[in-house]
Structure 1
């Protein structure tokens, strides 16, 4: 625990300073898109702590819990190294870079930036990959949330009550102008009051509702809510919801780390598992796509360039929002590894849960984490499970909120390329139809989200590699140091492409034609984008350096003055 914390925090206090000063060269005087295009809906200059809460909880979701809690099947040692080193040298650099690149280009999404820096063909392919990933994010997270609401009915009241708390916080901050510290304390107290209430009065749905299973019913309700939330101004619900959830997560993390420190539980999981179940794939390259969020994630680049860049008050805030947002996710992934390694009584108990690949996940985190909290802090196991289930649900829900909003942007952008101008409501309806179609189309019971989990992780990492390729091109054009981006890009690209090839063979053997077809499309598009980026990179190396934004502004002003 101490070694992991030291590595991750050193990344923020040391390595992120180098990136901010030498690579991205953040400027406090640069006018951000939030000020340039301020509209009170999407472009809003935001306090960096509030924006960090939005960004962190949007990118965190359930993935840094599910991924590590599945990858532990290979042993905690490899997962520990990937989470800690990945957070420092991959995730933080990627998230900060995407946020900087978008803020320097009028808040444009990474997909739009691909059109500017590698051409329209690359942009179209990039948008296709982003679209498919967002469909998977929405389906996967809806299934994870519904499963937790069914298995932990005590989380129902705090999950939906948090929406009311967020709406009140939004009004208090932006309309009533209340002190942020007072609002934060009141919001946290209200949220934990709801957790106590939910633990006292769990809400168990009947087995069937209007002909639907309880899980299927929750999935539909979640999509309807996410659609409505995505159409509301960010200050009204999305921002305050993410902010208060961010505070709640750090409290939850503090409780878990404190419980581990006080109880010093035994690591019953092996450091390297020599007795993996027969169906477990090879650790290389699958480890590096099973743990995506918590080490590096392409979805983070979409959030950085899709919503966070439009709310950045000062460019220098990007280091705290982007890199420290990745640090928060790394801390969540690290504590997940700790509790699923040490939250079981014996190795036999651990092996009973991890009897097959893709087992464990959020359920193992809640159960094992509840045991750790109970042993370390004497919190009743029922309440501990409620706290952790609520934490997992709220972060998955905030990610789903942001994902639906981002996919609406992508669909609108694709529509514009086809000569269609889609209204936000129409684009949102299409988002919901695609997400529900995948969740129920892959499995009529509504479990399609977990069926596509392997492909989700691979696509997520491929998108991270593509995002890094755009950042590399930008840095080369500006004659900035680019090796801190290029080297991680090459590693992630090799691992994600290798993993996708392995998975395509598995899908073919299983006769899973849906995932096989989606995987082939993603592989072809990704390789094509990388080729386009490589060609562009080779060309721009021999071109004059791109002038800095400040130089362009000075030249424009000189021309206006007739000088």
Structure 2
């Protein structure tokens, strides 16, 4: 099939989801109120609680949740065929991710911008909160540690991306001052930022930069990992308007320009989907598509990490409650669009089926490199862009989003330590600096303690990321469902997705449990059991609360 039809069908379906389904969700289910005083106004402090223009906040939310995952997952999942990946991304975006993201923002906004973990204690119970916090911590640990490895690898493999990646930070700092101090209008700032960012992308191939192959016993990848965590620690302590908001906003615009270029190239070149629609000849050792498809593609269909961002940073910046529809649901549409691009690049960016099979020779292959290589070929054939420049453009897209996710992820991990400080009355842990040091220390301990001198320890627990992340999404939907029942509102829009998600996630955890046992990987086997038990216990807690509510024992006004 020609990729043009895939593109049009995907974008058309997601547009219909936003203009029709999200309107129904916002007005009839969550009943967003433009007059509700948001926590951003109630607790405004100029650091974390900052009322923010919805377009700027959309940029923060979207780029924070996007990262590299909506590229990696779909570009791996096409090994089962591009049709299953396409269907899960489209339907997952419309009926799962948008509902989940907007719902998490609404739930947090209605409860003083509390995180989903803390909110669980109020809505469900203290036992559920404790278990939920463990799952949240594991997800953040995986995201931060692994994305550092992914970014470091891309900066080493594509050193033409170094200047635009780090130059984007300077651009964001300048934009932050211009927006916050209202020195220039948002449109002018956007134009200035985009021109500056793409100028840096043009400079990248001309002035490639690389770190020494070894320094103080660390490889170049390990050096980048240390530098990235040092940067993320500083970024997580700065007021959100200084770096986090402007960087995310300009990255969001940059992504849409990149997507427009890639989509335009598809429309012009009209490449064929070389990958099989349904792959009946998967490489030996490839796991069953069901349930693994639904945890391999997380971000881009639905992801628990989104709920952490929604209740961790986004809800603290919400100017009007009605902005939750645009920021949350349309943010999910943006991520779905990125995953659609990843599917097309990985399925139509190769010259022949043999070339595609050479890359997808085993499960787990493809990922970012398939997206960059395939997308660069489409850009070159469609709009005549130089292949090296196209690779730099797509690499910068992937790195910048992974970087913004690290920025937000480390800030969220800091919040977790601070919340633990409040729960256990540890005043020193409630302070930002010590909590940040604990967050960075945990990530570095995993990276270098488990991975040795190359800092790749995060990859050790990465096989459990998909299941743990999707479990978190299901549990977030459980919390939202309980809130809806307490308010006497229809719950089917969240109940159906959460039942499907929990079923697939628990099935995947059990399947992985068998795999880890067969491999005698006792560390992952034990961790899998911990996550599985936590999932079952939290689900039982929520089921108990729902049962009481069904009997009319309690109703929230």
TM-score in same-fold range (> 0.5):
yes
Q: Deviations over 1:451-481 (max 9, x none)?
A: 4332111100000000000000000000101
State the Cα distance separating 1:346 from its structure 2 match.
0.3
Aligned partners of 1:533, 1:131: CA distance in 2, in Å? 20
Judged with a 3 Å threshold, the aligned counterparts in structure 2 of structure 1 residues 467 and 432 are, in CA distance, closer, same or farther, namely same
Say yes or no: does 1:408 pair with 2:403.
no
2:538 corresponds in structure 1 to 529
1:235-293 deviation per Cα after TM superposition (whole angstroms, max 9, x unaligned): 00001000000000000010110000100011110001111110100000000000000
* Distance in structure 1 (CA, Å) of the matches to 2:250 and 2:549: 44
SS at match of 1:255: helix
Root mean square deviation, CA, Å: 1.0
Matched-pair contact (CA < 8 Å) for 1:290–1:454: no
1:77-114 deviation per Cα after TM superposition (whole angstroms, max 9, x unaligned): 10000000000000000000000001111111111110
Q: Which residue of 2 aligns with 1:495?
A: 504
Shift of the alpha carbon at 1:180? 0.6
Indicate the residue corresponding to 1:486 in structure 2: 495
CA distance in 2, matches of 1:439, 1:72: 29
Matched, 1:425 2:438: no
Does the residue aligned with 1:200 lie in a helix, a strand or coil?
coil
Counterpart CA distance in 1 for 2:472 and 2:351 is 39
Distance in 1 (alpha carbons) for counterparts of 2:440 and 2:202 = 33
- Mapped partners of 2:535, 2:369: distance in 1: 33
Matched, 1:458 2:464: no
Matched, 1:378 2:384: yes
2:101 is the counterpart of 1:95: yes
Partner of 2:26: 20
Determine if contact 2:549/2:555 at 8 Å carries over to the other structure.
no
Say which of 41, 53, 58 aligns to 2:59. Answer: 53
Counterpart CA distance in 2 for 1:158 and 1:143 is 19
Report matched runs for 1:315-354 at 5 Å: 315-354=321-360
Q: Deviations over 1:319-341 (max 9, x none)?
A: 00000000000000001000100
The yes-or-no answer on 1:504 pairing with 2:513 is: yes
- How far 1:416 sits from its partner (Å)? 2.1
Q: Retained in 2: the 8 A contact 1:136–1:438?
A: no
Gaps of 5+ in 1: 549-563
Structure-1 separation of matches of 2:131 and 2:461: 21
Shift of 1:442: 3.5
Partner of 2:458: 449
The 3-state SS of whatever aligns with 1:452 is helix
- Deviation of the 1:545 alpha carbon: 6.2
For 1:245 and 1:151, locate their aligned partners in 2 and report how far apart those are by CA, in whole Å: 22
Within a 5 Å distance, the mapping from 1:253-264 to structure 2 comes to: 253-264=259-270
1:479–1:545 Cα contact (<8 Å) kept: no
Which residue is 1:440 aligned to?
448
Q: Which moved more, 1:218-227 or 1:449-458?
A: 449-458
Q: 2:555 is paired with a residue of what secondary structure?
A: coil
Q: Residue by residue, what CA displacement relative to the aligned partner does 1:289-328 show, whole Å, maximum 9, x if unpaired?
A: 0000000000000100110001000000100000000000
Contact 2:548/2:554, CA 8 A, preserved across alignment: no
CA distance in 2, matches of 1:545, 1:335: 46
Distance 1:507 1:139 in 2: 21
Distance in 2 (CA, whole Å) between partners of 1:345 and 1:451 is: 34
> Over residues 42-70 of structure 1, what are the superposed CA-to-partner deviations in whole Å (9 max), with x where a residue is unaligned?
11110000000000000000000000011
Q: Does 1:546 align with 2:555?
A: yes
The answer on whether the counterparts of 1:80 and 1:334 sit within 8 Å (CA) in structure 2 is: yes
Find the partner of 1:241 among 231, 242, 247: 247
Taking the aligned partners of 1:178 and 1:470, their CA distance within structure 2 comes to 41
Give the C-alpha shift of residue 547 in structure 1: 4.7
User: What is the CA-CA distance between 1:511 and the residue it aligns to?
Assistant: 2.5
Whole-Å Cα distance in 2 between the matches of residues 33 and 177 of structure 1?
26
Distance, in Å, in 2 between the alignment partners of 1:267 and 1:283 is 20
1:209 to 195, 205, 215: 215
1:122 to 110, 128, 139: 128
Q: How many residues align?
A: 548
Q: Secondary structure at the match of 1:356?
A: coil
Matched ranges for 1:32-181 at <5 A: 32-181=38-187
- 2: distance between equivalents of 1:543 and 1:274? 51
More deviation, 319-328/446-455:
446-455
| Post-superposition offset of 1:232 | 0.3
3-state DSSP of counterpart to 1:233: coil
Report the TM-score when normalising by structure 2.
0.97
Distance (Å, rounded) in 1 between the aligned partners of 2:50 and 2:519: 48
Instruction: Give a deviation string over 1:504-527, Cα, whole Å, max 9, x none.
Output: 221222232332222221111111
Between 447-456 and 245-254, report the one with greater CA deviation.
Answer: 447-456
